[in-house]
Every structure is written in C-alpha cells, then in structure tokens.
C-alpha cells in the first residue's frame, strides 16, 4: 500500500459549531466560510479516515459561501443530501448542481461553493492513484467529462446510505481495534460500493450567453465602491428583471443581497482585527458605503448574532 495520505483511524464528530470552528476542525482542508443567510449559524462535522480515503458529512444550518483548497494528493467527490428542498440546493464553481450529480475536484483546483439553505454536504477524498485505478476498473478509458459523475437514478438512496453507514461503522469500530486493520481490503470494498452506484457523466450542455459569474465578479470587485444594480445592468447590458431572476436562480439570493453580505463579512473581518481605541464602527462601515447605521447595526446583529460594537471590543 502507498504511503498514508490521511491520519488513519482519526474520527471527527463535532456539533454545535460556528463558522470559525467549522474551519478550524476541518482537518487538512484550508477553507473559509462566509454566511449569506440571516440568523445564528450552527453546523456539525462527522468524518473518518483510512490511509487513502477521507469520508465526511458537513451540516450547514444557513446559506454559506465556501472558498479554499482541499488536501493535496487526492481527488474529492462532492454530493449533497437535502430532504427539505425539491430543487437544486447548492452552486459549485458557478453552476447549480442537481441531486444526482457528483462534482469532482482534482489537482490544483480551487474550491468555490454556495449553498442556498440548510444542507448536508457529503465528501469523499481519495488518494489520486487509488481513485484513477478504481475509475478505470469501472469505466475503462472513458474520460471524466467536465469533472462530473452521476449517481444512478435508482441508486441515489443507496449511495447516500452507503456513505453514512461506512462513516458510522468506522467511527464505531476504530476505537475498538487492538491490531492494525486490513486497510487495503476496507478501502477496496468502500470504493466498490460507491462506484457500483455511479455512471459516467453525459456531455455538458452549452452555457447560455449571459453568465451570472460576470455579475458576481463585478460585485466582488466593487465591494468598497459606490455601486447600484442599475450600474451593473448597464455594464452587462441586460434588463434588471433578467439580472435579478438569473442571479437568484443561480445563487439563491438577489445580487443586491449578495453585495450586502459581502460587505457585512468584510466589515466584520475588519472589526475583528481593528484596535477599538483608534477606529470607529462608522468609519469602517462608511468605507463599504453603509450609511444608515441604525439599520446596519440591526441587520449585522441578525446576521452574526452580536452587535458591531461587541465584535470590535472582543479584544478588551
């Protein structure tokens, strides 16, 4: 067996986590979460590790934007389970993901994900050589089109159950082990069960001419500039209704709300780092074109569960 990629036998089982704790305890992942929905966030992490496979389930109670990187030397499979929604529940790399699709992340790719609501994100990180060897066994020389695989329509429930049961089983059995387990056999059986539920992805459909990513990038670029939606619609040459509907369909919120969330998260980051004796909340908020401080304070507290002044004075 090749050198261990993951800390074999490690179990992560944590609940009632805020976003900062979610980032801290995501072993071997370098990610940053930003809450997009209102309310107090609460999440959980549940995962297990063999030498060449990491399986995990991350629960997010609110809409979240996630950016960062994943463990080096592996291929990551992403899929989701969300019984409360009938339609797509998250956006990955600027594309809405259906329930039966598995997103594949490979070497040097950046992680960028938006969730629309409460959701359980499932991940399987597999050592590169082991992944491609298993893929070839099941699909031969078929190329992985557009970094996607599908869960067979009649196997969706089984696929999710397999993931949950393996995590639960290993989390229960690892602490009982007195001798080193036969990880080769365990990993082979895990992947056999997963890949038996998969089919290779069909060719991707062509994108529409208008890309919401253009608008998203403009909002990121203008986070600290005076900008309104009329300026955005003029720049990308579309109607306001088309902008609103397309953006909300893709990201789950309006472009105006998205910009507000970006600004609030930027303000919070500056407040956490600022010296409360030398800066004011108003000056930082004004930098991001927040002018109505009363509304700002109320919206900030609703989003982060504390007032701006509480955030600024944490160091005291």
Nearest residue to 287 via CA among 303, 275, 301, 269: 269
Q: What is the mean pLDDT of residues 150-178?
A: 90
CB neighbours of residue 105 within 10 Å: 20
Q: Which CATH number fits domain 11-200: 3.20.20.300, 3.30.230.10, 2.60.120.10, 3.40.50.450?
A: 2.60.120.10
pLDDT per residue over 232-284, tens digit each?
A: 888 888 888 888 888 888 888 899 999 999 999 999 988 988 888 888 999 99
Kindly report, residue by residue over 162-172, the tens digit of the pLDDT: 999 999 999 99
What pLDDT is stored for residue 87 in this prediction?
Answer: 55
Q: How far apart are CA 133 and CA 201, in angstroms?
A: 18
Domain residue spans in the chain? 11-200, 212-312
Question: Using CA atoms, how far apart are residues 117 and 84, in angstroms rounded to an integer?
Answer: 9
Q: pLDDT per residue over 32-41, tens digit each?
A: 999 987 789 9
Architecture of the domain whose range is 212-312: Orthogonal Bundle (1.10)
Averaged pLDDT for residues 4-18:
90
| pLDDT value at residue 107 | 83
């Amino acid at each position: 067996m090749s050198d261990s990629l993951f800390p074999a036998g490690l179990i992560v089982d944590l609940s009632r986590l805020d976003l900062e704790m979610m980032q801290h305890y995501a072993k071997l992942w370098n990610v940053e979460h930003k809450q997009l929905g209102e309310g107090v966030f609460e999440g959980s992490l549940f995962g297990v590790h063999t030498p060449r496979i990491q399986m995990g389930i991350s629960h997010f109670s609110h809409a979240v934007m996630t950016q960062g990187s994943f463990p080096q030397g592996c291929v990551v499979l992403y899929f989701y389970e969300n019984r409360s929604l009938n339609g797509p529940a998250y956006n990955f790399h600027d594309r809405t993901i259906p329930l039966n699709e598995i997103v594949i992340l490979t070497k040097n790719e950046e992680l960028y994900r938006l969730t629309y609501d409460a959701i359980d994100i499932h991940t399987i990180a597999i050592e590169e050589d082991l992944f491609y060897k298993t893929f070839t066994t099941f699909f031969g020389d078929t190329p992985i089109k557009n970094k996607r695989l599908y869960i067979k329509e009649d196997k969706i429930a089984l696929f999710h159950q397999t993931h949950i049961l393996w995590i639960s089983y290993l989390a229960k059995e690892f602490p009982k082990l007195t001798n080193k387990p036969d990880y080769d056999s365990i990993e082979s059986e895990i992947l056999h069960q997963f890949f038996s539920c998969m089919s290779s992805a069909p060719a991707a459909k062509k994108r529409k001419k208008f890309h919401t990513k253009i608008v998203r990038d403009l909002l990121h670029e203008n986070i600290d500039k005076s900008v309104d939606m009329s300026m955005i619609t003029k720049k990308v040459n579309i109607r306001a209704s088309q902008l609103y509907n397309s953006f909300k369909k893709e990201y789950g919120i309006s472009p105006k709300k998205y910009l507000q969330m970006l600004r609030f998260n930027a303000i919070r980051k500056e407040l956490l780092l600022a010296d409360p004796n030398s800066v004011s909340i108003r000056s930082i908020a004004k930098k991001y074109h927040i002018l109505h401080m009363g509304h700002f304070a109320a919206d900030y507290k609703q989003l982060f569960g504390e007032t701006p002044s509480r955030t600024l004075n944490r160091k005291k």
